[in-house]
Chains A and B, each alone.
Chain A
């Protein structure tokens, strides 16, 4: 991150606002994800409902960030790091919005699972969620302080998450084939696990954007 200030203070103010907005969005999304899983684990229907409702806020964030970024580009013609920062911020917002959508999906599935009754297999979600939430936290932190190392570290974490998810999914598939327990519940649970895995991937995307901002290196699709 460039510590020197721009001569035009408004430029700095706009960039700072943009970053704040993205971080705000990140906080909201993190909370949404947490509440969705928490609701599932604690069997709290209200929490799940509130997640679905709060998705609107996140969508609005995304729109606002796009508007701010556009006006920043029109007004100040950013170049180099500033330009990458603006474009990547828009992409980060996109990724965050999709994470929020996944949170909503988890919440919906959670509602369905809870209505179908108790199931101790639900606890399998917790370790996976922890890993996903950690990745998300790291990704947002990397964006906040521009640390490339942290961003690069996400790759490995996500690989681990993927392995965990596969294992768990295999286990549940076996159960489904063996017709043990509530199959519909188990299928929903499968999707929840899938969503959490997707959250991890999106966190990696955010990390890739961070690397792009700082080093102009495009490390996607490696």
Chain B
């Protein structure tokens, strides 16, 4: 079963000596029907939704910088993943995007800015609460509230003042359907959310986040607490969600990044080492550090 062409055979019959270059991976995986998969046509570059410009961030009021010189743009309607070893700052950056780091007294953006949909999110007239309604988050350990399934999904709408039971019920149904949870819970919406399995609870958290229809969903290692089957279902869910939402996912699991994301950014020690299409990062990365990390040669 050798991959290398058998030169002996060929030399007997006139070999076509066209130099065959190494197979270059196209920008997008051709998953279309064979007739169309000839050649390497990339999709046209999608509009960028989040622009991070030379960002610097510190957890101790500027004494040490956890993130340095991050410049990155995240396109709309795609799944972008952040990978890197522990402590490289990927979760920190994720939490900057919805200003969850504001909850820490000593956290501070030391330089640069983050623009979401064109707006600098640290501007004085930006309300972080409004920001978080448009930029949702799903956490590593699923954390549904100790309330009923319905109330969990409806929470986001309730805090925005929606009182009509009909509107809430519709929103909840839509969100649960989008999270592929509806069929499993539709006849026990009033039972406690804590009675669901781990994977179901995480899907409920996703439903909770998308019930308010944010533009962007941030996911911080959403599958790390789940078994492989639940993980696969969530990855499939993410692939469906990207039709309507822009998703940024932080993951330790590189295979997850390859399965789910179109773009990948590799971080190390607070710096962005390389960003690009997932197939490039994992197929033919430009930087040696990236290659070492993805192929397990680190350390």
Contact = CB atoms under 8 A, between A and B. Distances in A.
User: In their complex, do chains A and B touch, with some C-beta pair under 8 Å?
Assistant: yes
A17 B259 contact: no
Interface residues of A, number: 42
A102 B13 contact: yes
A67 B25 CA distance: 7
A86 to B, nearest CB: 12
A98 interface: yes
Interface string B77-101: 0000000000000000000000000
B5 interface: yes
Interface stretch (A88-96, A110-118, A158-166): A88-96
- Per DSSP, chain B at the interface is loop
Interface range for B? 35 or more
Given A10-B239, A212-B1, A71 B259 contact: no
B13 A10 contact: no
Interface of A: 7-11, 13-14, 17, 20-21, 24, 55, 59-60, 63-64, 66-68, 70-71, 74-77, 87-88, 90-91, 94, 98, 101-102, 104-105, 108, 195, 198, 209, 212, 218, 220
A78 B175 CA distance: 32
Contacts of B187: none
Contacts of B13: 101-102, 104-105, 195
Contacts of B259: 8, 10-11, 75-76
B283 A17 contact: no
Contact of A17 (B25, B26, B32, B40): B32
Interface string B153-197: 000000000000000000000000000000000000000000000
A9 B240 CA distance: 10
A94 B233 CA distance: 36
Interface in B228-275: 229, 232-233, 235-236, 239, 255, 258-259
B73 interface: no
Interface centre among B10, B13, B24, B255 (most CB of A within 10 A): B13
B235 A59 contact: no
A98 B239 contact: no
